[in-house]
Structure 1
Amino acid sequence: MNFLSHFYFDREVDDCYHILGTILPDLLKNADKTIVLHPEKLQSTNPAVNSMINGWNKHLEVDRHFHSSGFFLEHSHKLKLLLRPVIEGSPVKPFFLGHIAIELILDNLLLTTGKVTADVFYDHLNGCDVAVVDDFLTFEGLKNTAVFFKFFDGFKSSRYLYSYAETQQIAYALKRICMRVWRDPFTPQHEAAINGILATYRESLLDNFMSVFDEIDSKLTAN
């Protein structure tokens, strides 16, 4: 799941460090894909660091439920089949595109239906003390934390998740993600075609997209 979808499950939690922890695995991967941390079973003497560890574990649990759900398997596959013919000539793998596309569409739907607000999400991130976040990263063994903080500062200041509320921006966000793997993933013609498919697919999910959130919620509660 993407950032706002993870936030949905803890949208009523009043602990910025826990909220940061729920998206930190993806933030670190985006900052530097070579960073690999495994804090799942660690405990710190700092309660705020432990909150981040708990958030991290929540992220892993939510992703596990989502990626094994019928909703994800069905819609990522359908999107792969729809997108494959319109990206002919692109180096991007259709299965990768289908996977990321359904996650971005869900973030868009959460925003546009008012299930989450980007303001509250960013307020949480801005409420975290840099020194505490640095404590977490060094506690987990990351030696060069500057790489992460450079990305994190840009992530907060750009506030690009607001753009997810604009359906036509989903294709642009998809391109940005693909550019981390492929230098020139799409032509303008590819982007236009992707945009049309994603806009139509988004409309088809509008009435039932919350089913996957309800399903995951029930599994989280059961645990």
Structure 2
Amino acid sequence: MNFLAHGYKYLDRPLFMAGTAVPDWLSVIDRKVRARSRLVAPVVEASNDPQVREIGLGILQHHADDDIFHRCALFQQLEAELSSGFRRFMPDRYDHRPGFLGHITVELLLDATLAAADTSLLDRYYDVLAEIDAVDFEAVVNTMTTRPTDKLVRLIAAFRKERFLDDYFDDERLLYRLNQVLHRVKLPAASDDVIEVLAAARDTLTQRGPDLLKIVANGS
């Protein structure tokens, strides 16, 4: 799951909603900085601070949702279908990109499906993020991570300003964002040819995305 799918149900709980974004934000900052459940849960359990509890519970919700999402048969089916589509343009069997792209494209297009179904949702999501005091937020997150970071404040500011979730509505802009992710994990960019795969995947997620969300909501 991606940012919007993790957080859209919690617009009335700003810190919790922002907490659901923390594991993905940290992976952008430094893949060695992690907020794992085994680190977060004891901090939440020991704290009477509402801010600490809301942020920590949001992080734990992220991990619980991801666990259900990635294990469900429908996600695995869609991931395999998309990976096969990408493989047509990346035939080298040692190329790791088709499987990687199959996985993250399902997640990003699920966000696009959610936002398309409710045209005010993205604006409301970003409005809620604007309520967060990023300095205080970073300080709390640093009590729950494998090591502290001083980059979360800047990332949250950039995340709010750039609004890259808007780019998921367009196949060419989506490919640009996917190539940014490939660059971050040191893999070559995908060619424009794969826009064909993205267009077909968008139709598939429009149909099957609600089923994925129901699976996560039901916890199985």
TM surpasses 0.5: yes
Deviations 1:68-104 (A, max 9, x none): 1111110101111110121346954321111111111
Q: 2:72 aligns with which of 69, 74, 80?
A: 69
What is the CA distance between 1:116 and its match in structure 2?
A: 6.6
Give structure 1 regions of 4+ aligned residues with deviation exceeding 6 angstroms.
none
Pair 1:58 & 2:65 matched: no
Q: Which runs of 5+ in 1 are unaligned?
A: none
What is the CA distance between 1:139 and its match in structure 2?
A: 2.2
Contact in 2 for aligned 1:80/1:95 (Cα 8 Å): yes
1:27 paired residue number:
25
Calculate percent identity across the aligned residue pairs. Answer: 25
1:192 paired residue number:
192
What is the CA distance between 1:163 and its match in structure 2?
A: 1.4
**How high is the TM-score relative to the length of structure 1?**
0.86
Number of aligned residues? 214
| 2:170 counterpart letter in structure 1 | E
1:39 paired residue number:
40
2:167 paired residue number:
163
1:141–1:113 distance in 2 versus 1, CA, 3 Å: closer
More off after superposition, 158-167 vs 84-93: 84-93
What is the CA distance between 1:52 and its match in structure 2?
A: 0.4
1:148–1:205 distance in 2 versus 1, CA, 3 Å: closer
Distance 1:116 1:195 in 2: 26
| 1:197 counterpart letter in structure 2 | V
More off after superposition, 206-215 vs 19-28: 206-215
Distance 1:101 1:136 in 2: 31
**SS of the residue aligned with 2:178?**
helix
Q: 2:16 aligns with which of 15, 18, 38?
A: 18
What is the CA distance between 1:152 and its match in structure 2?
A: 2.0
**SS of the residue aligned with 1:213?**
helix
